[in-house]
Amino acid sequence: MRRTPAIKQALPTRDRILEAASRCFSKHSYDATGLRDIAADAGVDVAYVHRCFGSKERLFAQALAATARPDRLLTGSSDSVAQALAKQLFAHDTDEDINPLDIIVRSLTNPDAARVLREFIVQDFIGPLATKLEQPALLRAAVIAAFLAGIGILRNVLSIKPLLETEGGQLEKLILGTITTTMHATTTSERGKAPGKRRQ
């Protein structure tokens, strides 16, 4: 649901442009979205968008970062991070805010947008998450990122039925269990005999 124009006008112009960009990129592909559309949606001149953000690619990067905000989920111990990550999969079930997943899915196949997405996922999610994990930390964090992206896409984009459960049920428990295992599971061949066993 769009904010009413009255509330939109109350935001500083730069934030209004970022919000308009997030909304446009979440509804249309990267290719189909122009700075002109975003400017119109924000109610500003396209020249001002250019001055503020430079290029579509840079505006896309900033709109993605402003919408996704993975830093909010990555504080505290690995256990509390696991819980926050599992929970956020259910956070966009209302239509009231923009789901960053929609931005990601609509832009995956454009090479410029894919480069932005790759940098964002590696620098803003995998890197910070890896600081909380045991070795191979980057690999574990990347597998968790992939898991969350996959659940998000099959649940929120494709509406795959068994995944439409609400928060707090078996799905959330299973997701939490899978994230926790990926954080702690053994990966070397000496320890490889019980791949699902959690190290304490």
Asked if 88 interacts with a copy of itself (CB under 8 A), we say no
Question: Which of 13, 112, 134, 177 lies at the binding interface for a copy of itself (CB under 8 A)?
Answer: 177
Asked if 182 interacts with a copy of itself (CB under 8 A), we say yes
Coil/strand/helix, residue 184: helix
Locate 38 and state its tokens: 């975003």
- Measured from the Cβ of residue 8, the count of other Cβ atoms closer than 10 Å reads 16
Locate 17 and state its tokens: 């442009």
- Provide φ and ψ at 120, rounded to 5°: -65, -50
Distance, in Å, from the CA atom of 78 to the CA atom of 134, rounded to the nearest integer, reads 10
Contact 40, 52 (CB under 8 A): no
Asked if 165 interacts with a copy of itself (CB under 8 A), we say yes
List, in sequence order, the alpha helices (H) in 33-189.
35-42, 46-53, 56-68, 78-88, 100-107, 111-120, 127-130, 137-152, 170-184
The stretch among 4-12, 17-25, 70-78, 188-196 that binds a copy of itself (CB under 8 A) is: 188-196
The stretch among 4-12, 15-23, 58-66, 134-142 that binds a copy of itself (CB under 8 A) is: 134-142
Question: Which of 106, 129, 132, 133 lies at the binding interface for a copy of itself (CB under 8 A)?
Answer: 106
Asked if 13 interacts with a copy of itself (CB under 8 A), we say no
Smaller CB distance to a copy of itself: residue 40 or 163? 163
Shortest reach from residue 2's CB to a copy of itself, in Å: 20
Contact 129, 177 (CB under 8 A): no
Q: Which residues bind a copy of itself (CB under 8 A)?
A: 29, 105-106, 108-109, 114, 117-118, 121-122, 126, 136, 138-143, 145-151, 153-155, 157-163, 165, 170-171, 173-178, 180-182, 184-189, 192, 194-198
